[in-house]
Amino acid sequence: MKNIKYELLYLNFLNNSLSLGAPNTLYTLSAIFLQGDSLAKLEEKLLVGFGDVIDRLVSTPSGTVPLLRKGRDGQAKIRYSWMKVYDETRQRYGRPLTLLAAEKIMEVVKPGDYVLIITNSHEMDGPPGAAALARALLVGLRAIPIITANFEPGSKFQRALTQSCTGAQIIPVLTKEELTGSIWTPYTTLIYNWPLLTLEEAEEKTRDFLDEYRPKAIITVEATACNKKGIRHGALGGPRNSGDPDEKIIRWNQFIDQANSRGIPTIATGDNGNECGFATIEDILVKHHEFCADCGCPCGEGIISAASADIVIPANNSNWASYGIEACLAKLLGNTDVLHDEYTHDRILRNCANEGIPDGATAMATPSTDGSSHESCIYLVGQLRQSLLMSMKEIVRESR
């Protein structure tokens, strides 16, 4: 009987929520009439619903160029098929992916803990997402983010990373010592230059890093990594190295592999399958993404990273997945400031692009991401914010 009453009230709530055009009054979610189990169930449904809204926003290529061609008359890559990768991944996990990631972060990260964010794409998808996520971890959890990437000191990519952080209102530092010790440290994030390494060196250096910092979670933001044959590929299947284990190259898979054996939660964001951690959904990727099934290079192994992260978020681009995690963290913490706003987003994108970093799809220095226009990126953050703000209200319609 109690359940029936609850369902009716919930339906009533949903119906009322749809009548936004009518005169109404907004209240905070008091749910005076719902008690005990019923209230808990309603809150769970609302949370999962919110997570699905965020997931769909960040995995929908609206405002995005749908076609990328490999050479003027070459093979066409269609963006829309990636939505199927998201759908099947969501189905497999049984819960919204951005919400799962935020819940895991909330569970394991306490104030003063290090969280490792790995990025290295040297284009517009990566630095903005990493910087925005670092901001959310600082504002929401008082954690200490470390953004790891490979770069030449003083290069435009280093500046793109630091300027993305500044755009996100946080202060980038280049040494561990600068993270503590003064009143100007609470919003600092460490930019850590990860060197090019042989396979053996990567195993050792990753172990040393994890021993020193003991990060409570690892999140990859567009960190392209090697496939099972040790070859890292571009988005369109081109190989970046020979596969020789003694070659000094960018190696990220060791972080996920070693974190998995140490029980450190790992979260991977991506839009292609070559991003570190995406082997978790290899079967789904092979089905829907041509370069995952066949890279077209002599290795014949496909572009999928050899490492398997705990949670994989296939989104329209890795930046957008990061903003989705932020929105869910903000929701779980009940703190809207945890998600950056549209004006801050404009500043992040402009700061990054103004260093001369290309958009990965258009190859132009536009403040856009993987062919998603500047405007669509800002509108996305606007939609995320409005979804967050509206999710904290309740509409009650009643007769006088």
Least CB distance from residue 295 to Zn ion, whole Å? Answer: 3
295 lies in the site for Zn ion, by CB under 5 A: yes
Least CB distance from residue 238 to Zn ion, whole Å? Answer: 8
**What residues contact residue 363 under an 8 Å CB cut-off, 6+ apart?**
none
Distance CA 169, CA 163 (A): 10
Chain position carrying tokens 């999962």: 48
**What residues contact residue 25 under an 8 Å CB cut-off, 6+ apart?**
395, 396, 397
Question: Segment near Zn ion (CB under 5 A), from 143-151, 158-166, 291-299, 371-379?
Answer: 291-299
Kindly tell me which of 275 and 355 has the beta carbon lying closer to Zn ion. Answer: 275
Kindly tell me which of 215 and 302 has the beta carbon lying closer to Zn ion. Answer: 302
339 lies in the site for Zn ion, by CB under 5 A: no
Least CB distance from residue 199 to Zn ion, whole Å? Answer: 17
Kindly tell me which of 202 and 299 has the beta carbon lying closer to Zn ion. Answer: 299
Least CB distance from residue 139 to Zn ion, whole Å? Answer: 41
- The alpha carbon dihedral of 168, 385, 265, 305 has a sign of negative
For residue 319, the tally of other CB atoms under 10 A from its CB is 36
Least CB distance from residue 315 to Zn ion, whole Å? Answer: 24
Give pairs for 136-140: CB < 8 Å, separation 24+: 136/325, 136/326, 136/329, 136/330, 136/338, 136/339, 136/340, 137/105, 137/109, 138/170, 138/186, 138/187, 138/189, 139/187, 139/335, 139/337, 139/338, 140/329, 140/330, 140/333, 140/335, 140/338
Least CB distance from residue 253 to Zn ion, whole Å? Answer: 15
Kindly tell me which of 135 and 232 has the beta carbon lying closer to Zn ion. Answer: 232
Distance CA 50, CA 339 (A): 14
Distance CA 27, CA 204 (A): 55
Kindly tell me which of 100 and 299 has the beta carbon lying closer to Zn ion. Answer: 299
Among 54, 68, 139, 297, the residue binding Zn ion under the rule CB under 5 A is 297
Least CB distance from residue 224 to Zn ion, whole Å? Answer: 13
Give pairs for 153-159: CB < 8 Å, separation 24+: 153/193, 156/355, 156/356, 156/357, 157/122, 157/355, 157/357, 158/191, 158/193, 159/355
Kindly tell me which of 295 and 377 has the beta carbon lying closer to Zn ion. Answer: 295
Kindly tell me which of 223 and 299 has the beta carbon lying closer to Zn ion. Answer: 299
Question: Segment near Zn ion (CB under 5 A), from 70-78, 161-169, 185-193, 292-300?
Answer: 292-300
Chain position carrying tokens 């009518």: 22
Least CB distance from residue 234 to Zn ion, whole Å? Answer: 10
**For residue 144, what are its two tokens?**
């200490």
Kindly tell me which of 243 and 358 has the beta carbon lying closer to Zn ion. Answer: 243
Kindly tell me which of 191 and 299 has the beta carbon lying closer to Zn ion. Answer: 299
Question: Segment near Zn ion (CB under 5 A), from 161-169, 241-249, 298-306, 387-395?
Answer: 298-306
Least CB distance from residue 229 to Zn ion, whole Å? Answer: 7
Among 100, 147, 299, 330, the residue binding Zn ion under the rule CB under 5 A is 299
3-state secondary structure of 172: strand
Kindly tell me which of 302 and 367 has the beta carbon lying closer to Zn ion. Answer: 302
CB 36 within 8 A of CB 381: no
Least CB distance from residue 70 to Zn ion, whole Å? Answer: 14
**For residue 232, what are its two tokens?**
């890292």
CB 89 within 8 A of CB 305: no
Least CB distance from residue 275 to Zn ion, whole Å? Answer: 15
Question: Segment near Zn ion (CB under 5 A), from 57-65, 288-296, 309-317, 347-355?
Answer: 288-296
Query: x/- contact string, 237-256, with Zn ion (CB under 5 A)?
Result: --------------------
**For residue 397, what are its two tokens?**
């319609």
Kindly tell me which of 226 and 299 has the beta carbon lying closer to Zn ion. Answer: 299
Count of residues of this chain found to bind Zn ion when the rule CB under 5 A is applied: 3
235 lies in the site for Zn ion, by CB under 5 A: no
Q: CA-based diameter of the chain, in Å?
A: 78
3-state secondary structure of 127: helix
Positions touching Zn ion (CB under 5 A) are 295, 297, 299
